């Protein structure tokens, strides 16, 4: 059902907690798992590379091979573009919620609007 699962990852607690859901889905469906980290302007690329390597090792220890992509730009737009590029069947990501008072949306809310495939948002 989910041939390709895209898992955008950052250094948030939510991303770490969501990794288990991405792992379970990949195992249950025999999915191709693609880890994506988006480097925003001013962010240290070395920290992102280390985060991706740690996540890749965690998945490998659980018996799931994954591909790793690192891109630059605004996260929601890059996630949507990569999902389209790799023909993702599902995006799995955590959420920090929507900041209604400031009229700002979370990255997850924006991805839902922009994604070319279903998005599973894990609270």
Provide the CATH topology of domain 4-122. Rossmann fold (3.40.50)
| Segment (H or E) for 6 | strand 4-8
Query: Hey, what long-range contacts does 43-46 have (CB within 8 A, 24 or more apart)?
Result: 45/70
Q: Which residues contact 70 (CB under 8 A, 6 or more apart)?
A: 36, 37, 38, 39, 45, 48, 49, 52
> pLDDT by residue for the chain (123 residues), tens digit each?
899 999 999 877 778 789 999 999 999 999 999 999 998 888 777 777 888 888 899 999 999 999 999 999 999 999 999 999 999 999 999 876 434 444 456 888 999 999 999 999 998
Cα maximum dimension of the chain: 43
For the chain, the structural domain boundaries read 4-122
Backbone dihedral angles phi then psi of residue 115, each to the nearest 5 degrees: -70, 145
pLDDT value for 103? 46
- pTM value? 0.89
CA trace torsion 107, 113, 115, 120 (10° rounding): 70
pLDDT value for 27? 95
């Amino acid at each position: 059902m989910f041939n390709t699962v895209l898992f955008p990852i950052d250094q948030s607690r939510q991303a770490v907690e969501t990794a288990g859901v991405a792992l379970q889905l990949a195992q249950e469906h025999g999915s191709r798992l693609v880890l994506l980290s988006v480097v925003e302007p001013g962010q240290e690329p070395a920290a992102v590379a280390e985060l991706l390597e740690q996540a890749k090792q965690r998945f490998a220890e659980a018996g799931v091979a994954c591909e790793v992509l690192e891109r630059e730009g605004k996260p929601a737009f890059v996630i949507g573009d990569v999902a389209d590029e790799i023909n993702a069947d599902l995006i799995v990501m955590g959420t920090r919620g929507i900041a209604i008072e400031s009229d700002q949306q979370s990255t997850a809310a924006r991805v839902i609007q922009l994604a070319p495939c279903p998005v599973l948002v894990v609270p």
